[in-house]
Structure 1
Amino acid sequence: MLTFEQKQAIIESFPQLTKKEISLKRLNYHFEDSLYEKTIVVEKLHPNGNGFIFVGDLLKYEKEASDKGLVNIRDYSEQQLREIIESAIDYLSEEIDDTPIIEYWTSRQGTKLELEFNNRSWNIYHQGNLEESFGTRDDAIAYLHEEGFRLSK
């Protein structure tokens, strides 16, 4: 495990980040050029080595991230830490194409569902009500196939 000082040195090697001291000797690092309200990339870096990186809904970190899009970096190596910080900065720098993609799916019984891509999520709707939400199109399609739905022509 990297020490607090080692993590701090790695984080501070990113010139895009600005250090801000918070309570209990913890540090936050902000990305002031964020395209979104969220600017904190490194959250609550503690002298004991604990801390969090904001990754939002990036699929690469889907299994590690909390509901708030935070990944605990306590046991991260230098390479892992550098990669996740780069991913977080890229995430906050990326314009979201908010043009929705909509597909229509039908079951053998004639039930119709809509698969819609919007704000990085693949959502399944039935009669306008959200049924399920997925991080990838592949996961959404696998679910639809398991439930007996096929893409409408």
Structure 2
Amino acid sequence: MLTFEEKQAIIDSFPTLTKKEVSLKRLNYHYADSLYEKTIVVEKLHPNGNGFVFVGDLLRYEKEANDKGLVNIRDYDEQQLREIIEDAIQYLSDEHEADEPIVENWKSREGTQLQLIFEQRSWNIYHGDNLEEAFGTYEAAKEYLLEEGFRLKK
């Protein structure tokens, strides 16, 4: 487990986050460029190492997040902490929804075709109009498609 000071140094390395002290020597880190009212990325980082990161409804964290969209980072290592903070900032900046949707066509040897579409912050696999699966990351969706015998259609 990272110490409070180590977590603080990692979080401080994100130049878009602003530190604010709260009660009981805890720290919050805000993302001022958030497109939403919610600006807190790291909430209640405590000297005992406990703290939370806001991930909203990102599918990648659905098993870890509480009903407020917060994930406890007490036992996170450096890589996990950096990834979740990057995901939180991405979530609050909502960059992908302003762009055109990302659509990929995948095909099996038998000729079955699926579409992989990035929408509403998740990677969804469709067979026709039917949603087959949803993933929190592109990598997880791609791995699933490859394991099921699908290849990206050129």
Query: What range is the shorter-chain TM-score in?
Result: 0.5 to 0.7
2:102 aligns with 101
2:64 aligns with 66
Alpha-carbon distance between aligned partners in 1 of 2:45 and 2:141, rounded to the nearest angstrom: 35
> Percent identity of the aligned residues?
54
Alpha-carbon distance between aligned partners in 2 of 1:152 and 1:52, rounded to the nearest angstrom: 40
Long gaps (5+) in structure 2: none
Alpha-carbon distance between aligned partners in 2 of 1:151 and 1:15, rounded to the nearest angstrom: 36
Q: Which amino acid aligns with 2:46?
A: H
Corresponding pairs, count: 144
1:87 aligns with 86
2:45 aligns with 45
Question: Cα distance, 1:99 vs. partner?
Answer: 1.1
Question: Cα distance, 1:42 vs. partner?
Answer: 1.4
Alpha-carbon distance between aligned partners in 2 of 1:84 and 1:139, rounded to the nearest angstrom: 15
1:118 aligns with 119
Q: 1:144 to 1:69 in 2, by over 3 A?
A: farther
TM-score, scaled to structure 1: 0.60
Question: Cα distance, 1:51 vs. partner?
Answer: 0.8
Alpha-carbon distance between aligned partners in 1 of 2:148 and 2:117, rounded to the nearest angstrom: 17
Alpha-carbon distance between aligned partners in 2 of 1:49 and 1:149, rounded to the nearest angstrom: 43
TM-score, scaled to structure 2: 0.59
Long gaps (5+) in structure 1: none
Aligned-CA RMSD value: 4.2
Question: Cα distance, 1:19 vs. partner?
Answer: 2.0
Give the 5 Å matches for 1:6-45.
Answer: 6=5, 10=9, 16-19=17-20, 21=22, 26-45=26-45
